[in-house]
Structure 1
Amino acid sequence: GIAHEINNPIGYINSNLGSLQQYLQDLLTIVAAYQKLEARLPVDEEIRGLQKLRQDLDLDFLKEDSLALLSESCEGVQRVRNIVQDLKDFSHVDSAEWQMVDLHKGLDSTLNIAHNEIKYKAEIVREYGDVPLVECLPSQLNQVFMNMFINAAHAIEEKGKITIRTGREDTSAWIEIADTGKGIAPEHLSRIFDPFFTTKPVGKGTGLGLSLSYSIIQKHQGRIAVDSCPGKGTTFRIVIPLKRVSETAPQGGLEDAEST
């Protein structure tokens, strides 16, 4: 797929940059040896010409900057590879089947994808517990995480904090995503999972993100709870079974946070 088409040329670039770094280091070693030899030679017109050329080219700067440029290029290539991997982990393009999945890996890859949306708004705090693999549709569950992270970032008006907690509860896993944003008005709490309900200005939101998240968690036989205090923040708690009971026995729904 697309990831493969990107990874192939990136692999060539990464390999070539590694070779180029080694070649440059070898060349600089030779240049350093010539410079030592030059210091022992009598100064004649040719030596003065070499010294002027070295000064005009600013050889010391060229050596330092060329190594830095190559290092930055290698870091850039690695970032592209990481982004491609995060996109694969987020979307799980290789399979749309139910899988046993590491929730923490899904949370982390989703956070990486949402990084630009979050980085200026919130500090991310991870408080991960000991959670076994969970049977889920990973791309859909990651979409729930994405909706929660984006909503949390949008709720924070100035610099705040988004805390992600996980744990195990009997035969279920739970995830809490808490923000220090403006909170949800009490009169809106019962409607936030309704399709098309939004408190955002026209054009700023469709009101489908939480509704979709609710449906996905229902499909996973789980539930979502919400606890919010205006002016202090909001916490969403997701609980899903470690393994499905059966394909024909979905259960779960919306609860108040106090009942979980």
Structure 2
Amino acid sequence: MQNRSVPSSQVLIDEERAQAHLLQSEKLASIGQLAAGVAHEINNPVGYVFSNLSTLAGYVQELIKLIDAIDSTASLDELKQFKQSSDYDYIRSDVQDLIRESEEGIERVKLIISALKDFSHIEEDAFTYADLHRGIETTLNLVNNELKYKADVEKEFAELPEVECLPSQVNQVVLNLLTNAVHAIENRGTIYLRTGCEGEYVWFEVEDTGKGIEQAQLAHLFEPFYTTKPMGEGTGLGLSLSYSIVTKHSGDIQVFSEPGEGTRFRVWLPIQQSACPQEVVE
């Protein structure tokens, strides 16, 4: 039987398809990783709203009895006595607090659902102008449950123009960098989020006060399956996916780190995709 070699172009296509499948798997894994935290973030406000509704239902019954008593009491003094026995003053005050807390809880749920909606369009392929800060805030709302136990978040946002991009994919980059920052912090630390604009580019960066990265590892960070985490704790695809997304946007990622001094990732994106690529400098 004659052996036929596979054309190099076909090999390249197969490799690209395999990489696309791997990157898509990492996207889905990221969403799966968020699920437990998002469920907790939603369950907390829903829990106390449900509790408040139960209390409000009891108060409504007491108020209905008080209103019905108007028709059955023989004198105003008797009505006043009934009002005092029903703890009307306390109910009147507590009802306002319960309604305010419930409104805040529902607003929190709406915010998380809105963030999920913004984040979920992982298959979008049409560039559009978007507010970079909104994307960062969206992602922060999704990972809040994981962040709040490990780090304080400090934001230093500059005034930015809207950026021509694939918003949900940029959000994926923010998510990956935030996740890495959290995992780099062993006890409790700080994560800094900064943005800026220089010439035809905008940038955002995520800096942590974690353990840092060895210099020998820096050159391999964006390679598929390369990870500095212990075996079983990372796929090694998060930064590779981020690099692929940023490259697709004609941008660049820089990383600065020293062992024991934390790590800073800075992402550069052109404001317009028609802008000529240029080398960005610190």
* Residues 50-69 of structure 1 aligned to structure 2 (within 5 Å): 50=82, 55=85, 61-69=90-98
| 1:150 correspondence with 2:150 | no
Paired position in structure 2 for 1:83: 112
Alignment equivalent of 1:194, drawn from 193, 213, 223: 223
Give the Cα separation in 2 of the matches to 1:101 and 1:152. 24
Shift in Å at residue 135 of structure 1? 0.5
Equivalent position amino acid for 1:86 in 2 = A
One of 136, 150, 158 as aligned partner of 1:121: 150
Seen in structure 2, the aligned counterparts of structure 1 residues 77 and 192 have a Cα distance that, compared at 3 Å, is same
2:160 to 123, 128, 131: 131
Letter paired with 1:135? E
Shift in CA distance, 69/93, structure 1 to aligned 2, threshold 3 Å: farther
- Percent of aligned pairs with the same amino acid: 46
Residue 245 of structure 1 and its aligned partner are, at CA, apart by 2.6
Distance 1:163 1:38, change over 3 A: farther
Structure 2: state its 5+ residue gaps. Answer: 1-45
Query: Matches of 1:236 and 1:217 in 2, distance apart?
Result: 12
Q: Contact (CA 8 Å) 1:91, 1:138: kept in 2 or not?
A: no
SS of the equivalent of 2:219 reads helix
Q: TM-score, normalised by structure 2?
A: 0.68
Report the alpha carbon displacement of residue 202 of structure 1 after superposing the two structures with TM. 2.4
Q: Of residues 229, 233, 239 in structure 2, which corresponds to 1:210?
A: 239
CA contact (8 A) 2:122 2:169 kept: no
1:1-260 counterparts in 2 under 5 A? 27=63, 41=77, 50=82, 55=85, 61-92=90-121, 96-245=125-274, 260=282
Structure 1 residue aligned with 2:42? none
**Structure 2 Cα separation of the partners of residues 96 and 67 of structure 1:** 47
SS at match of 1:238: strand
- Code of the residue aligned with 2:256 in structure 1: it is D
SS in 2 for 1:165: strand
Letter of the structure 2 residue corresponding to residue 76 of structure 1: G
- Structure 1 residues 181 and 66, CA gap change in structure 2 (3 angstroms): same
TM-score where L is the length of structure 1: 0.73
State the alpha-carbon separation in 2 of the partners of residues 206 and 95 from structure 1.
24
How many angstroms does 1:40 deviate by? 6.5
Partners of 2:88 and 2:109 lie apart in 1 by 32
Q: Distance in 1 between matches of 2:140 and 2:176?
A: 11
Q: What is aligned with 1:4? A: none
In 2, the alpha carbon distance for the partners of 1:117 and 1:192 equals 23
Number of paired residues? 226
